[in-house]
Amino acid sequence: MNDVHKYIDTNAQRFQDELFDFLRIPSISARTEHHADMKACADWLRASMQGAGLDASIHDTKGHPIVLGEWKGAGENAPTVLIYGHYDVQPAEPLDLWTTPPFEPTIRDGRVYARGSVDDKGQLHLHIKAIEAYTRTAGSLPVNVIVVAEGEEEVGSENLMPFIEKHAQRLACDAIVISDSTMIAPRSPTIGASLRGLAYFELRVHGPRSDLHSGSYGGAVINPATALARIIATLHDEKGHIAIPGFYDDVLEMADFRKQIGELGYDENTLAEETGVPSLGGEAGYSTPERLWVRPTAEINGLLSGYTAEGSKTVLPATAMAKISFRLVPNQDPATIEKLFRAHVQNVTPEGVRAEIITMHGGRPWRARLEGKLVEAAARALESAWDKPVVYAGEGGSIPIVPEFERVLGAPVLLMGFGLPGENAHAPDEWMSLENYVYGAHASASLLDELRGG
Amino acid sequence: MNDVHKYIDTNAQRFQDELFDFLRIPSISARTEHHADMKACADWLRASMQGAGLDASIHDTKGHPIVLGEWKGAGENAPTVLIYGHYDVQPAEPLDLWTTPPFEPTIRDGRVYARGSVDDKGQLHLHIKAIEAYTRTAGSLPVNVIVVAEGEEEVGSENLMPFIEKHAQRLACDAIVISDSTMIAPRSPTIGASLRGLAYFELRVHGPRSDLHSGSYGGAVINPATALARIIATLHDEKGHIAIPGFYDDVLEMADFRKQIGELGYDENTLAEETGVPSLGGEAGYSTPERLWVRPTAEINGLLSGYTAEGSKTVLPATAMAKISFRLVPNQDPATIEKLFRAHVQNVTPEGVRAEIITMHGGRPWRARLEGKLVEAAARALESAWDKPVVYAGEGGSIPIVPEFERVLGAPVLLMGFGLPGENAHAPDEWMSLENYVYGAHASASLLDELRGG
């Protein structure tokens, strides 16, 4: 193992150069104009896996390809670890808010700034480099390893589970390792205890056939933008509770986890300073980490209506649009939430306009099993890399395929994230800590070693 | 007079060709990139006025130039008529909703489709052509005439009144004629009885320093888009009344005008069909024409926040913006409304975000004097052109400079509009009726004749 760790340290600069190449590819899965970049990124990744000693292959899907890396040399009786990550990234807009361009990785203060640096290219790449370190020094891996990298995580992972189901035999494993989340604080190695689910919609309110003069028609024609705002305002009550009837019916109170959270010593000031808000806020009766980890939300992700450019235009808009998503907690189900949301919108939409709801994507919430060999091995691996005790924390974001992986492959998922608070995932100036990138590679290598012998 | 009217009919095609040239100039006052077009449009207009027999001149302002046409040959004792119009137009977006491009005038079904066709180039041009018909046939005009054409009507007319005040002596007149409004129905020549005022704002709600991941932060950071929607939802109560404290304090009930409106036989179905709305709506207790002409409104003219492009992005936006305007009725004052609006927003803005209000522009409401020589002359002129009785109707839109003109020049304003319901002013596929363009020119010529002798 010493050789493996030494290899990682010796080659850290080269690993970083390669990561930069990976980050330069604008693999934005949501945009059709980046189709060729997605393909180029999959090719790059296949070569990278191959270089690390894996048998790598590209598998076309109805959407973007899946890149698979396999090493089964440990034999049928040895455990198999499946590592999952994604090579697609979020759109980079608004571009003018980036300090340096999103696809020109730049180091400032020990951080790599680039779209996809932490979500999830950096966190995927460090596992590949850990594997390379093993195969180049020991000539083999201590366990069988499968790496699955998809290109559609940011657009709903529609084609991943059909692929996993189809190849369930080939992908059979004893543990699923995912690094697509954050540590609770710098130098606090963290194992993920929970994930929120997601139900994402576009709500369109239609009024007049075309935009109208707000003077000539205003007052007698219901304004779709006003109607949309009034619908949105019904999503919460005055206390910040979600006011859609039935919304909380399936929510677990998770008293045990809330007790653990209370003992974490979560620092709210850090979050307020990091985000720059006048004050934090949210649902009455819950602490900040509870609001993030064990309580569902309704968020407006986008608003568009009428005239939005420079100056003023006295228009009564024909239509108004909101992107609305719900974060879900155990045991909420996205399909049930969709039904409740549709019924609620129908109920509160004013006369004179028509509401249309388009379902974008969704995913179930998840809770980790926090006992057993996998978690224990991971705790030892992380503690050896950071020389600090592991903490167990929730994650406000969603990785919809986590519960699906467990269901289809029948193996437990381990969330071992190397992001950090304030990393700007999905926002301008996304970054990943270079220290976490290197320590993460050490932890990944140690985990393979810890899992040796099952 | 027969020669004048004959000249108009004989030259109608040439007039129309010249109007098309006028409409081809994208004189969008709100956009700095159209600065040169504004200048070109003013030059074109000066030449057109000169060609009609007026002494034409261009007067620079701090913004876009004012074009002045003058003919004082009727002598000091003859009455002077000032005709006002504007050569600037609204932005044309959304461009993809135009059947034919906004600056390539096209005739379909007896209508000229183009941005500015009815608002206000067509309505200004027909007066110039009436003057031309007079000077070319009679060699003189029956009254002194001044034409004032500004280039900033669509952006608040900031520099017009300073110009009028500075040149009040030169612009002294007995009547002010403005054609920038609509007839109540096809072939119903209409004199404007009222205009609504305007108070236009941009409301910006600021939350976190930059866009955040809606999963990692949602629930603990107040969402500015949600906050904006909640603020907007407080602008009206459930009955459609504006819920800003004090908003109606200065509103005149105008029982006499409401009685007149009730006798108009206003056809609500036409408006519903024309706009394509599921149903009309608005403030409880008022009919559709009352909602448009004697009641104030609060309209959302634009909404923008977060991610609005194709697909989905799980972002918690840093900021959310609404363009909000109020239409005012006598005796509301835009400055008072601004104070009430600012106090209300401050009062209802949730903790955790910061609201900022930017004042764009405003204007006072107006009521016409519906007796006296000017209105009687106009009624005869319109009735002779259309061979139909004149109706007196309100106008939901605003021409903020109308009450200002009366104040500064001490002469009454006549609103003699040649637009029609459904003309799409400020919207895609704006059009003007060619019949109204020609009949309007006849009516304009007749009005000058009717005003002969004061």
Residues of A in contact with B363 (CB under 8 A): none
> What pLDDT score was predicted for residue A371?
84
Q: 3-state DSSP call for residue A303?
A: strand
Q: Which of B158, B167, B130 is nearest to B145 (CA)?
A: B130
How many interchain CB pairs under 8 A, A with B? Answer: 377
Q: Is B238 at the interface with chain A, CB within 8 A?
A: no
Q: Is A155 on the interface with B (CB under 8 A)?
A: yes
Check whether residue B56 and residue B110 sit in a common domain.
yes
Q: Are residues B144 and B223 in the same domain?
A: no
Query: Percent of chain A having pLDDT more than 70?
Result: 100
Is residue B50 located within the same domain as residue B94?
yes
Instruction: State the CB neighbour count (10 A cutoff) for residue A239.
Output: 10
Alpha-carbon distance A9 to nearest alpha carbon in chain B (angstroms): 31
| Closest to B148 (Cα-Cα) out of B49, B248, B19, B269 | B49
A314 inside 8 A of chain B by CB: yes
A309 touches chain B (CB under 8 A): yes
Give B175's contacts (C-beta < 8 A, 6+ positions apart).
B79, B80, B81, B82, B374, B411, B412, B414, B451
Nearest CB partner across the interface for A426, out of B232, B233, B314: B314
The DSSP symbol for A182 reads: B
Which residue, among B145, B165, B148, has the nearest Cα to B57 in the 3D structure? Answer: B148
pLDDT above 90 for B102: yes
Is residue A274 one of the residues assigned to a domain? Answer: no
Domain C-terminal end among A363, A380, A409: A363
Output phi, psi for A400, to 5 deg.
-55, -25
Across chain A, mean pLDDT equals: 95
Residues in chain A within 8 Å Cβ distance of B235: 226
* Same-domain status, A179 and A254: no
Whose CA is closest to A134, among A143, A124, A147, A125?
A143
State CA B326 to chain mean position distance: 14
Q: Nearest CA to B220 among A264, A359, A293, A118?
A: A293
Mean pLDDT of A173-192: 95
Sheet holding A111-113, edge to edge: A106-108, A111-113, A431-433
Chain B residues with beta carbon closer than 8 angstroms to that of A353:
277-278
What letter represents residue B176's amino acid?
I
Task: Out of A57-71, B80-94, B131-145, B393-407, pick the least confident.
Answer: B393-407
Residues in Cβ contact with A35 at an 8 Å cutoff, skipping those fewer than 6 apart: none
Partner-chain residue, chosen from B280, B310, B315, that has the shortest CB–CB distance to A221: B280
> Omega of the bond prior to A94 within 30 degrees of 0, cis?
yes
Q: Is residue B286 part of a domain?
A: no
- Residues in B 267-296 with any Cβ partner in A closer than 8 A: 271, 275-283, 288, 291-292, 295-296
Mutate to test the interface with A, among B221, B288, B305 (most CBs of A within 10 A): B221
Residues B201 and B97 in one domain: no
Q: What mean pLDDT comes out for the span B356-363? A: 93
Q: A35 — contact with chain B (CB < 8 Å)?
A: no
Supply the CATH number for residue B355's domain: 3.30.70.360
Total domains in the fold of chain B: 2
- Give contacts of A115 with chain B, Cβ < 8 Å: none
CATH number at residue B56: 3.40.630.10
Min Cα distance B364 → chain A (Å) is 13
For residue B323, the number of C-alpha atoms closer than 13 Å in the C-beta half-sphere is: 22
User: Tokens 């807009």, residue?
Assistant: A93
C-alpha closest to that of B210 among A185, A92, A361: A92
Cα–Cα dist B68/B84, whole Å: 10
Same domain? For B176 and B304 the reply is no
- Specify whether A217 is located in the same domain as A311: yes
What pLDDT, in 10s, does the model give residues B339-350? 999 999 999 999
CA angle at B375 for the pair B372 and B381, rounded to the nearest 5°: 135
Q: Is the pLDDT of residue A453 over 80?
A: no
- DSSP run (H or E) holding A29: none
* Cα gap A95→B126, rounded to integer Å: 47
Among A109, A105, A108, residue whose Cα is nearest residue A121:
A105
Residue A275 lies in a domain: no
Closest partner residue to A277 among B211, B271, B352, by Cβ?
B352
Cα separation, A311 vs B202, in Å, equals 9
Q: Does A40 touch chain B (CB under 8 A)?
A: no
Measured in angstroms, the CA of A351 and the nearest CA of chain B are apart by 7
pLDDT of A403 > 60? The answer is yes
pLDDT-derived band of residue B399, with 50, 70 and 90 as boundaries?
A: confident
The answer to whether A353 faces chain B, any CB pair under 8 Å, is yes
CA distance B142 to chain A (A): 35
Please give the backbone phi and psi of residue A11, each rounded to the nearest 5 degrees, phi first.
-100, 10
The answer to whether the CB atoms of A278 and B353 lie below 8 A apart is yes
Decide if A356 is inside a domain: yes
Q: Do A226 and B232 touch (CB under 8 A)?
A: yes
Tell me which DSSP letter residue B252 carries: -
Minimal C-alpha gap between A362 and chain B (Å): 11
Could you give the CA distance from residue B221 to residue B227 in angstroms, rounded to a whole number?
11
The length of chain B in residues reads 454
Tell whether B132 and B170 lie within a shared domain.
Answer: yes
Among A264-268, A402-406, B297-301, the range scoring the smallest mean pLDDT is: A264-268
Residue that is written with structure tokens 């109706």 in the block = B391
Contact B198 A301 (CB under 8 A): no
Domain that holds residue B219: 197-263+292-363
* Torsion-angle region of A344 (φ positive above 0: left; ψ -120 to 50: alpha; else: beta): alpha
Tokens for B196, please give them: 């609504």
pLDDT band at B375 (very low <50, low <70, confident <90, very high): very high
The 3-state DSSP class for residue B249 equals coil
Question: What would the mean pLDDT of B108-131 be, rounded to a whole number?
Answer: 98
What integer best gives the mean pLDDT of chain B? 95
Check whether A156 has a pLDDT greater than 90.
Answer: no
| Final residue before a domain boundary, out of B326, B346, B363 | B363
Q: Using the 3D structure, point to which of A363, A397, A430 is the last residue of a domain.
A: A363
Question: Hey, what are B141's tokens?
Answer: 């005009």
Q: What's the rounded Cα separation, in Å, for the pair B244 and B231?
A: 11
Min Cα separation A450/chain B (Å): 30
**A225 CA to centre of own chain:** 31
Q: Does pLDDT of A366 surpass 60? A: yes
Note whether residue B154 is domain-resident: yes
Closest chain A C-alpha to B48 CA, distance in angstroms: 28
Is the predicted pLDDT of residue B454 greater than 60, yes or no?
Answer: no
Contact A396, A160 (CB under 8 A): no
Residue B195 φ/ψ, nearest 5 degrees: -135, 145
With an 8 Å Cβ cutoff, are A216 and B297 in contact?
no
Same domain, A340 and A396: no
Q: What is the pLDDT of residues A121-152, one digit of tens each?
A: 999 999 999 999 999 999 999 999 999 999 99
Touching check for B205 and chain A: CB below 8 Å? no
The helix-helix angle for A122-138 and A434-450 (nearest 10°) equals 50
The answer to whether the CB atoms of B208 and A275 lie below 8 A apart is yes
Judged by DSSP in three states, A189 sits in coil
Q: How far is CA A140 from the centre of its chain?
A: 31
Q: Which residues contact B330 (CB under 8 A, 6 or more apart)?
A: B194, B251, B252, B254, B365, B366, B367
Helices and strands of chain B, counted as H and E runs: 14, 18
Contact A218 B327 (CB under 8 A): yes
Nearest residue in B to A327, CA atom: B215
B311 within 8 A of A361, measured Cβ to Cβ: no
* CB proximity A179 to B under 8 Å: no
| Cα torsion A288, A293, A295, A301: sign | positive
How far does the CA of residue B429 sit from the closest CA of chain A (Å)?
A: 9
Q: Which residues of B touch A298 (CB under 8 A)?
A: 226
Determine, yes or no, domain membership for A278.
Answer: no
Does residue A207 share a domain with residue A183?
Answer: no
Q: Do A426 and B97 touch (CB under 8 A)?
A: no
**Does A27 or A312 have the greater pLDDT score?**
A27
Question: Does a structural domain hold residue B397?
Answer: yes
A215 near B196, Cβ under 8 Å? yes
Q: How far apart are CA A145 and CA A143, in angstroms?
A: 6
Residues listed for chain A: 454
CB pair distance less than 8 Å for A306 and B302: yes
Residues of chain B in contact with residue A424, where contact means CB-CB under 8 angstroms, are 210, 212-213
* First-last CA distance in chain B: 18
- CA A195, CA A401: separation in Å to the nearest integer? 11
* B273 located within any domain: no
- Which letter, b or e, does each residue of B374-398 get, where b requires 16 or more Cβ atoms within 10 Å of its Cβ? bbebbbbbbebbbeeebbbbbbbbb
A212 and A318 in contact (C-beta within 8 Å)? yes
Q: Which amino acid is at A40?
A: A
Query: Minimal CA–CA distance to B16: which of B417, B432, B396?
Result: B432
What pLDDT, on the 0 to 100 scale, is given for residue A242?
98
At residue A454, does pLDDT exceed 70? Answer: no
Mutation for B interface: A313, A353, A354, most B CBs within 10 A: A313
Chain-chain contact of B225 with A196 (C-beta, under 8 angstroms)? no
Angle at B406 between CA B401 and CA B410, to 5 degrees: 150
Q: Does B174 share its domain with B158?
A: yes
> Would you call A215 and B279 a contact, using CB atoms and an 8 Å cutoff?
no
B92 and chain A in contact, CB less than 8 A: no
Q: Do B28 and B156 belong to one domain?
A: yes
Q: Which of B56, B74, B75 shows the shortest CA–CA distance to B65?
A: B56
- A:378-407 residues touching chain B, CB 8 A cutoff: 395-398
pLDDT tens per residue, range A307-349: 999 989 899 999 999 999 999 999 999 999 999 999 999 999 9
**Rounded distance between C-alpha atoms, residue B34 and residue B316, angstroms:** 35
DSSP type of residue A274 = H
CA distance A345 to A357: 9
Beta-carbon contacts of residue A87 (< 8 Å; ≥ 6 apart): A22, A27, A41, A42, A45, A67, A116, A120, A121, A124, A149, A150, A151
